[in-house]
Chain A
């Protein structure tokens, strides 16, 4: 679309100001992570580190970073695998099977999207303690899976409804069972929606804080967002070390984003574009 020169100039000025607002904190974070405490105390914020140091990163790795990271990978990947399996099974039923309560049940599960998670927090905490999975990475998986299901079932059901019925009818004539149709026809055809669901839940759970805060307590059992919180509590005055921790924790998302920008955006927006 064409633009008049005058307007265009102001647009560009505006965009550059916005780049500064959006990205300066990241530069501040990355620069500070290579400074020594001395640099920070004596130099201006703008000054580059006099001698870039990796010692802050060393401090982070000497702490529990690896363990936090590992726990996050385990909790998130197990949850996402379970979410994909369970929600795709239900979605297949909701999209295709004809039975009395299909629509009512589907609506009920979808209504779960509107539930504020806070109302579930205290009972889930008490339940987790009672069944003995408190302070255990597996204690997180139950709520993670359950709270992700409504949205995931919704996305997959709507997608599967668009798959032409002819594929299954042909398979049925060939004698394919209910389960075979799901695994050999529906699942492969639903790949794009499954990827969206995986990214949506993966990014959401990777950053999840409140359940991990309430359901775990020892550093060796906590996930990365809790690691940031614990580290900040422990090293509150060591700003460069904290910035190193933050920089490291951003890296996985940044790498994922660079590798699959469009897919990541689509996945993250999945929750919003339900209307």
Chain B
């Protein structure tokens, strides 16, 4: 009897001790910062001086009339839309082709996967030079095809810089979604394909009537991932353009970074960060519940 009691005491102690490190880390580095971010958004502060001025909703009202912030949010939204329209269909197409090819196409899988091994920073720096009008790969390809007149200053021209950046984002993430869909396709039972064949279904019919409907849950997950990811972009764009030229590629995250760490406006930076938190969480929840209801 006493032994059993000892056991349950040591188990309770064990539970507390085993949870403590997680709770401490998450408390200090996630919970506290979120509260602190919102709290700082009501102050004007350079982050250094002891003087922290309470300004109530001044930062928030400034945010609502800050055209740069709205412009950067618009850029984020453009990235979401174009990422969804380009990445997901292409990734599905490539995944299906590779699946149809069987073992023989494994080499393609490995070759396509390479961009995923590179960090966003490395990709950003590499493409700065791929896009270089003089020494870059793109202008070399255009020269080779005798299309010199199509050459542009891909990252320097404000009217096309955002699209040049989006192209790199697609280059970076298509391999990820490709692997994602290859895994999803391999979960479709082979019997369904055999049955469809016996019923005389063509490849196209099989694709639209069986494969796509069965992939729908994965497509939804991929769309949510892409949506949330697109709202958070920083590394790649900061490295390639720093938000320029003339704010053409400014995003919420780059704008937040510049305010907080280049202009030392910690209060306003926190306001942008808090707004990002609200926007991303809301978008995530809406996407999650919207896709969930349809499944039921």
Contacts and interface: CB of A to CB of B under 8 A. Distances in A.
A114 interface: yes
Contacts of A122: 33, 36-37, 40, 47, 260, 266, 269-270, 273
B121 A229 contact: yes
Contacts of B105: 15
A45 to B, nearest CB: 4
A78 interface: no
Contacts of B25: 86, 142, 145-146, 149
B171 A22 contact: yes
B35 to A, nearest CB: 8
A207 B269 CA distance: 24
B121 A207 contact: yes
A146 B100 CA distance: 42
A120 interface: yes
Interface in A230-275: 232, 239, 242-243, 246, 249-250, 253-254, 257, 261, 265, 268-269, 272-273, 275
Contact of A147 (B29, B94, B261, B270): B29
Given A89-B22, A109-B26, A228-B125, A120 B33 contact: yes
Contacts of A265: 113, 179
A268 B128 CA distance: 26
Interface string B243-273: 0000000001100110011000010011001
Given A116-B280, A228-B121, A3 B34 contact: no
Interface in B82-116: 93-94, 97-102, 105, 108, 110-116
A25 B130 contact: yes
B261 A1 contact: no
Interface in B1-53: 10-11, 14-15, 17-19, 21-22, 25-26, 28-30, 32-34, 36-37, 40, 47
Interface in B155-198: 171, 175-176, 179-180, 183, 193
Interface in A85-123: 85-87, 89-90, 92-93, 97, 99, 105, 109, 112, 114-123
A209 interface: yes
Nearest to A28: B137
A242 B129 contact: yes
A49 interface: no
B29 A269 contact: no
* Most chain B beta-carbon contacts within 10 A, residue among A117, A224, A226: A117
Interface in A173-225: 177-179, 182, 206-207, 209-210, 214, 224-225
A60 interface: no
Given A46-B140, A149-B26, A121 B260 contact: yes
Given A45-B136, A86-B21, A239-B129, A119 B37 contact: yes
B101 to A, nearest CB: 7
B133 interface: no
29 contacts: A15-B97, A15-B98, A25-B130, A32-B129, A45-B137, A90-B19, A93-B14, A93-B19, A114-B281, A118-B232, A118-B256, A119-B277, A120-B29, A121-B33, A124-B29, A125-B260, A126-B266, A153-B22, A210-B257, A214-B257, A214-B261, A224-B119, A225-B121, A232-B239, A243-B129, A249-B119, A253-B118, A257-B117, A269-B180
Interface of B: 10-11, 14-15, 17-19, 21-22, 25-26, 28-30, 32-34, 36-37, 40, 47, 93-94, 97-102, 105, 108, 110-122, 125-130, 132, 135-137, 139-140, 143-144, 171, 175-176, 179-180, 183, 193, 203, 217, 220-222, 224-225, 228, 231-232, 234-235, 239, 252-253, 256-257, 260-261, 266, 269-270, 273-274, 276-277, 280-281, 284
The 7 closest A-B pairs by CB, nearest first: A146-B29, A207-B119, A45-B140, A178-B14, A123-B33, A120-B33, A123-B36
Interface of A: 1, 3-4, 7, 11, 14-15, 18-19, 21-26, 28-29, 32, 40, 44-46, 85-87, 89-90, 92-93, 97, 99, 105, 109, 112, 114-127, 142-143, 145-147, 149-150, 153, 177-179, 182, 206-207, 209-210, 214, 224-226, 228-229, 232, 239, 242-243, 246, 249-250, 253-254, 257, 261, 265, 268-269, 272-273, 275
